[in-house]
Amino acid sequence: MKNFTSSKDISEKSDEAKTIALNEGFESLELHANLQSNLKKLGFIKMTPIQKLSLPKIMAGNDVIAKAKTGSGKTAAFGLGLLNKLDVKKFRIQSLTLCPTRELADQVAKEIRTLGRKIHNIKVTTLCGGSAFGPQKGSLEHGAHIVVGTPGRIEEHLRKKTLLLEHLDTLVLDEADRMLDMGFGESIAEIIRYLPKKRQNLLFSATYPLNIEELASKVMIRPHLVEADDQHNENTIRQLLCQIHDKSKRTDGLVGLFQKFNPDSALVFCNTKKLTEDVALALRNLGFSSIALHGDMEQKDRNKILVKFANKSLSVLVATDVAARGLDIESLDLVVNYHLSRDPEVHTHRIGRTGRAGNTGLACSLFHESEEYKIEILEKTLSKSIKRTFIDSVEKDFKPAQPDMTTLQIEGGKKQKIRPGDILGALTREDGIEAREVGKINISETSTFVAIKRHSLKKALEVLNNGKIKGKFFRARII
């Protein structure tokens, strides 16, 4: 079993950590000039706690175990480490990042591309299940520098020898606790068999249970353990326990929360896939813009739902824990636990979806008096009591507000070399709509999704379907 550094070395309150805290800006790091310049343009000035603690060790070439909650800036921490050591002239795979879900892998790959956009000719490839194997094989034949993917699909590529990692120098395990919870332990062990023994290993996890310690002992060499303060506290996330009087009217309690707090966007967590469908349908029948998200859905449908929720053309997303993994919405107003989770750690992950990126958020948990024992376990784990309230009765004439935005899908994407500026230009030409009517633009390999103000939808469709983008016609439709 490989040794860890001493508790004196890894203590967050050590003299070294205090010294790092004095230098909170990225300019205190010896990052390449193009990364520093890009960070300034992106508005990245002050490092988050996990970045301050982990980046110097990552850049020094150490194996690192970083414990930090969701939304703490961990992707930028390991992403900058990977990019800073990347030799772009050597067109071969130099790093591999494993993620528990496709959604998180896509998010990680996107952020790495953004961080490295001033590095010319860098190629980041995503390999996940739910997509056709053939196109991924073809992409790998053209080479890559960085690969991000899910364990199952990465293992398949390695087994079929379509992915070669003999030149790999860095392995990242992102959200390692969740990967083990989802049963990827054996796949990770198999993947490691294909990797060079001499490499840097980075493990990021929100929790540090025994199975993570066991994994680290098999994978890492004298890792440095760093732990950031919990970013989700009373100052960023307000928690409420909301009691309902009747078990059979839990959805009424949910509607009561929406009436009371009137969120623009809300994420509702349910414990089962069937319940997500039932709750989403009940909300739609009441006039809410609501849809379910769970693991049994086709990946392309899940992707569309996530795009709509992120660009504010969907108000309520009702999801299971696994399906919502990797969901990163900067300004999510409300998170609701339809039922309390059976696992206090899962509860922490759930509420961490709000109060991100410096914003404040609200997390409400519905409960009946018969579930008092769950609250006792939760409060004991959190070492604090949570404020309780009763849900007011539902107003009979309440009419939910509809999203301000709607989403158009354009049948052209990265393969057609379409860029956000091309879409904006096509929409705002002389006979088009105002730029302020256009929201987020998401470009995938073969499709582009653009959010449009609802009152400008008809005009936007007309402009796109009757005009050209980059000299070509592309069909657009509402999703």
CATH number, domain with residue 378: 3.40.50.300
The single-letter code of the amino acid at 419 is R
Residue 287 within any structural domain of the chain: yes
State which of 196, 227, 258 marks the end of a domain: 227
* Domain total in the chain: 3
Report the pLDDT value the prediction gives residue 310, as an integer from 0 to 100: 87
Rounded Cα–Cα distance for residues 245 and 268 (Å): 20
Which of these, 468, 465, 404, lies nearest to 439 by C-alpha position?
404
Claim to verify: residue 180 and residue 88 sit in the same structural domain: yes
Residue 397 within any structural domain of the chain: no
Report the pLDDT value the prediction gives residue 11, as an integer from 0 to 100: 35
Residue 31 within any structural domain of the chain: yes
Distances (CA, A) of 218 to 106, 192, 227, 305: 27, 10, 20, 38
Rounded Cα–Cα distance for residues 112 and 83 (Å): 8
Claim to verify: residue 326 and residue 430 sit in the same structural domain: no
Report the pLDDT value the prediction gives residue 324, as an integer from 0 to 100: 65
Distances (CA, A) of 405 to 61, 260, 283, 423: 46, 22, 19, 17
Claim to verify: residue 283 and residue 302 sit in the same structural domain: yes
Q: Which position has the token pair 């390692």?
A: 176
Which of these, 289, 337, 336, lies nearest to 311 by C-alpha position?
289
Residue 468 within any structural domain of the chain: yes
Residue 379 within any structural domain of the chain: yes
For 312, left (φ over 0), alpha (ψ -120 to 50), or beta?
left
Claim to verify: residue 242 and residue 328 sit in the same structural domain: yes
Residue 125 makes CB contacts below 8 A (sequence gap 6+) with: 109, 136, 139, 140, 144, 146, 147, 148
Report the pLDDT value the prediction gives residue 332, as an integer from 0 to 100: 83
State which of 340, 364, 390 marks the end of a domain: 390
Report the pLDDT value the prediction gives residue 101, as an integer from 0 to 100: 82
Claim to verify: residue 339 and residue 433 sit in the same structural domain: no
Claim to verify: residue 22 and residue 122 sit in the same structural domain: yes
Task: Tell me the pLDDT of the chain (479 aa) as tens digits.
Answer: 334 443 333 333 334 433 433 357 898 899 999 999 999 988 888 898 899 999 999 999 999 999 887 677 899 999 999 999 999 999 999 999 999 888 889 989 999 999 999 998 899 999 998 788 999 999 999 999 999 999 999 999 999 999 999 999 999 999 888 888 767 888 899 999 999 999 999 999 877 777 788 888 888 989 999 987 654 455 678 889 999 988 888 999 999 999 989 899 999 999 999 999 999 999 999 999 999 999 888 888 888 998 999 899 999 999 988 766 656 666 788 999 999 887 877 887 788 777 665 567 899 999 999 998 888 888 888 778 889 988 876 777 788 989 999 999 999 998 898 988 889 889 988 889 988 899 888 888 899 999 999 999 999 999 999 999 988 999 999 98
Claim to verify: residue 40 and residue 188 sit in the same structural domain: yes
Claim to verify: residue 66 and residue 185 sit in the same structural domain: yes
Check: CB of residue 101 under 8 Å from CB of residue 325. yes
Report the pLDDT value the prediction gives residue 6, as an integer from 0 to 100: 35
Claim to verify: residue 458 and residue 375 sit in the same structural domain: no
Report the pLDDT value the prediction gives residue 14, as an integer from 0 to 100: 38
Claim to verify: residue 250 and residue 363 sit in the same structural domain: yes
Report the pLDDT value the prediction gives residue 436, as an integer from 0 to 100: 86
Claim to verify: residue 469 and residue 449 sit in the same structural domain: yes
Residue 398 within any structural domain of the chain: no
Residue 412 within any structural domain of the chain: yes
State which of 198, 227, 256 marks the end of a domain: 227
CATH code for the domain in which residue 439 is found: 3.30.70.330
Range of the domain at 454: 405-478
Claim to verify: residue 246 and residue 209 sit in the same structural domain: no
Which of these, 27, 34, 33, lies nearest to 55 by C-alpha position?
27
Residue 232 within any structural domain of the chain: no
